Amino acid sequence: MTDPGLRYARQLSLPEIGPEGQARLAGSSVLIVGLGGLGCPAAAYLAAAGVGQLLLNDFDRVDISNLQRQILYRDEDAGRGKAETAAERLTRLNPDIRATAIPSRLDQAGLRAQLADCDVAMDGSDNYGTRFSVNEACLAAGKPLVSGAAIRFEGQLAVFRNDLPEAACYRCLYDEQGDDMETCTGGGILGPVAGVIGALMAVETIKLILGIGQPVAGRLVLYDGLQGHWRQVALRPDPGCPACGEFRSR
């Protein structure tokens, strides 16, 4: 095992982290749903930072067309399960951490069970059904949710403080489930755009674990890679939200 004083030296020198913060990262657990273009870079940065346990949920298999942006995989991984392959690569990246593959579709009960001992959930999935399900499980478990999306040259990022009362949830932003979420298969994507959003998801997750800085809660961060523009949109809780409205009324 590498001397943590060497591996994490550049983090330990940050006054916001230091030895106490590094120990907190080592004792933390994050559930990552979706090991694609967003989940791969996010998971890699969390592993490298020393987040102690990563629960990796994806039931898809590696395809050659994934390799342009899903940076944990190689040509020889085609046909292998993403969760298992990602877990293997992440533990090679940092043997100090535990990466656990969950290669099955999780229902509400399964999500809540996985979230029980987690500090943060991260969602990089590509369909509304999964995103709504993860959001509702986080609400029920009282866990913060870091959510990202990317398509073409554009990306977005938000943090939903489902662990706090009166905070907007993912369903406040997208109030109806539909079949119209555009995917990379149809719309295309520039790989580094997914990397930008995935890296930011890791930053926000680390901030939440350590309780430092100002998470982007209550804001939707939008990135236009083609124009090099960033903008933010305020997010407010929807009193009629079918997800968090139920929990606020309790």
The Cβ of residue 187 has, within 10 Å, a number of other Cβ atoms equal to 12
Phi and psi, residue 127, nearest 5°: -150, 150
Residue with tokens 């907007």: 168
- Residue (of 58, 142, 146) closest to 99 by Cα position: 58
CA distance 186 to 183: 6
How much of the chain is in helix, strand and coil states, percent to nearest 5? 40, 20, 40
Q: In the 8-state DSSP scheme, what is residue 191? A: H
CA distance 120 to 169: 14
CB-facing half-sphere around the CA of 92: CA atoms within 13 A: 8
Encode burial over 192-214: b for 16+ CB neighbours within 10 A, e otherwise.
Answer: bbbbbbbbbbbbbbbbbbbeeee
Instruction: Please list the active-site residues.
Output: 184
CA distance 94 to 2: 9
The Cβ of residue 174 has, within 10 Å, a number of other Cβ atoms equal to 13
